[in-house]
A and B are shown apart, each in its own frame.
Chain A
């Protein structure tokens, strides 16, 4: 009955549920790019770290990732902060290529370290919530963990937006992005604000990893696909606009979901990149926002 209506509707809903997690990943990347013009190639590896950290805590305590995700956030905040202060700050002002090489190298080291410690095997966790489904009418059903992670990701995305647009810290971060010469003259400690912004962006990746753990599988290279998606989101969202990246994340989720629904799973990533290339060549300033963050 009405399948032409319910099947795509279910597809769109699934897409939004995944898209919320994408949005959080993309906002983290966009914050770092918007404030520092740094493309963090380690963003996916940070997500992977968040996933493994959550996995370890889950194995040790049995506490659901939906309760212990802040731990991954705190851990990755400090990892991001230290990465900026220890590795990136010393090479600020040099060619961008150095920054790219450095973050790529860091990603490789982290991925290899995960492989050394945890092996190359795939891991999954099992929590009771996974078998719960919420039915809306006879045709639509939503898997409960996705709904929970959607809720958490949306709340965090709004919080991040609020921090960047409404607080003095966010204002300082945007000031640095808009005029790095004038920012220190306001009394802004540029290095500290950037390190904190880098930490917050990394924490977003870490929390996304924690939220993905129950509904995904875990292996050392798991971050790569999300790193690629976050590039797509930053470009679609308008090069550093965090609200743009958030909308791009939701759209990406829906587009992928409908693509795999009608064309098959293997096409989903291809469609991401078709979008990416189209935007870069037709409207490089992005679709969902202009750089203002």
Chain B
């Protein structure tokens, strides 16, 4: 195994893994109603293919990818579409987004599934299978995987294909359980990815606090030539930039992508869904999610996309006393849900109910004392204190100069700040404002051009009218005089 290349900063956080990783993955119950958002991925929202009243089968495509960077959405069960309208979704804003609501008929009847024998397919056809199965990155970002599996446009072969099984956030164990129980399936998916990308080497990064997962994956990788690499348990080792550096020593450039350094990186759960899509013809209609924290029976559940969080919580025996916050994702980067009636999406890896025991008391915010504690833990090698200074003063240009957009919002800085400043929120705010300003600028430019075009058109029309007027001048006079006569 190769040597590791540690990254700067990071944190040793609390783990809280054993609450949920001691039992096998449970299959969640089929809820009577599923609300399937049409935007579960990065990119354009899928175009609905169904209307209220339509009967759908499990696995039937109900949302079509709209453009290259988009993903297909499928019916998680059979039933009748009762609505295609905006419903509350899991989003930090708590706003609604377009969803397809399906009333389950309880039969869970599959559409005709067509596994493919992939070595006989042209890579582009195989990519289409994966695209049509709605495969997206299940680690959280939900980027359409077919796009990342396309090596075209690159002359050289890919150096390294990395499978991310780090799972560095506290509490989350869904990838851990998946690797322990379905290692062979993951490796089967990985083989498909390797077939498409043709990398020189394949590495699987797993944090060393998951010895069982490492053992299972190593066993499954025998005779494949894939390397299972235990990595030190240090948040955020599962962030793409940090993991790539850790395993290969390469740094993804600022504003760059992994492919820029000859690396491509996928989550273990994504590999699993690729396997299901290709070898079983099953689109992504379910995922494994950790439900943990202040619930009676924490664990991992294989749950249909569109299942309301409340139904999932009910299956774990409900909340314990004093739950204050429901977090989607981990405690470091996850966001607090407004309510538990939003549905499970492809990107939802953990549902964490927390109460006063887990949440530090909210401490009063003091001025920054420039102690540099934030800088010492920043895995992006930023100066969070300077960024904060500029974001707070709304000096967006300076914030950008200080590489605001290199911030991965990992939250390490906020955790250690002795002044308890919500640093990450300042960075998010600044990023959002910069994007909005940019959009605004584009809009203004568009309006300026349209206005100018209109002015030119009016001018042209005026000239044309005048020209016509000059041509017809004598007649105009006649008309005018006849008018006078009438008057």
Real complex partners, A and B?
no
Give chain A's interface residues, CB within 8 Å of chain B.
none
